[in-house]
Amino acid sequence: MGWSAWLDSITLNVIVLNPSLSYKLNDQWSVGGGVQFSWAAFEQSSSLFATDQDSDWAYGYNLGVMYRPTEKLDFGLSYRSKSEHSFDADLQRVNRSVGTDVIVPEIVDMSMRYGFNEDLNLLASVQFHRWSQWDETVLNLSGTDRNGVSIQRDWDDVWKFALGADYRLNSDWRLKAGFSYETSPQDDPSKQWVDLPVGEQYRYSVGASTNWDDVVIDFFYEYADLGEVESEKRALNGNLVGVNGTFEGRIHFVGVNFNF
């Protein structure tokens, strides 16, 4: 039996709080930093078992520096640390639990802003995502003497390239739009798994921002095209596991940010 029978659905809900502070050293240099508090809830079901929802807190930090050589040009460099969630969810109808870890990798971001005129800013960024840290996922089942089931990811690090624009519509509103391309962490069809098929990503976003007293409110919508990912069965301990097929992914994001 392939491992495709293991999974019908998986749900991961995440809320991130990131209080930050910045300090202007002089007219050209600014520095900043913050602490991340990430809450996540995990639940999955399959034809073999289903788990109750389990939640976990993870913590990290971020650092940044900005350099402004002229009024029209800004350069930024930021770092976000790795965080890791550990889940131990109870299996329904049996007195056992299954445990696993979910890693969010560290990210390095290099960005630039160019003020084309008083109303229009042009934006660009390059990000490095260290997904190679997540080489495997281990499922540990309580009440057994067996070692955990290992899902080999063998992911590569990922590069993300983004372009955008920020336009001042009037004294109250700014409009934003952007596009990004992200390389694939895994191109081998025999190393794709049904819980998390991965490939190249194309993202398109639009948004708007306004001021309310001393608060900046950002509204945004993003469409993520995860493309088509091919999967093939592979041999594991003398058995064929996985599935032969194609995965397609399309995700819509809607959000609001408040900056004090």
Kindly list the structural domains of the chain, giving each domain's residue range(s) and its CATH number in brackets, ordered by start.
Answer: 3-259 (2.40.160.60)
Largest CA distance in the chain: 67
* pLDDT of amino acid 243: 76
Please, which residues have CB within 8 angstroms of residue 4's CB and are 6 or more apart in sequence?
A: 194, 242, 243
* pLDDT of amino acid 22: 93
> How many whole angstroms separate alpha carbon 232 and alpha carbon 240?
10
Residue-level length of the chain = 260
Q: Are 119 and 168 within 8 A, CB to CB?
A: yes
Please, which residues have CB within 8 angstroms of residue 233's CB and are 6 or more apart in sequence?
A: 2, 190, 240, 241, 242, 243, 244
Question: Mean pLDDT in each 10-residue stretch from start to end of the chain (260 residues)?
Answer: 51 84 95 94 65 83 97 97 83 68 90 96 97 78 63 88 97 96 90 81 97 91 92 73 82 87
Q: Are 172 and 186 within 8 A, CB to CB?
A: no
The neighbour count for residue 163, using CB atoms within 10 Å, is 13
> How many whole angstroms separate alpha carbon 85 and alpha carbon 100?
8
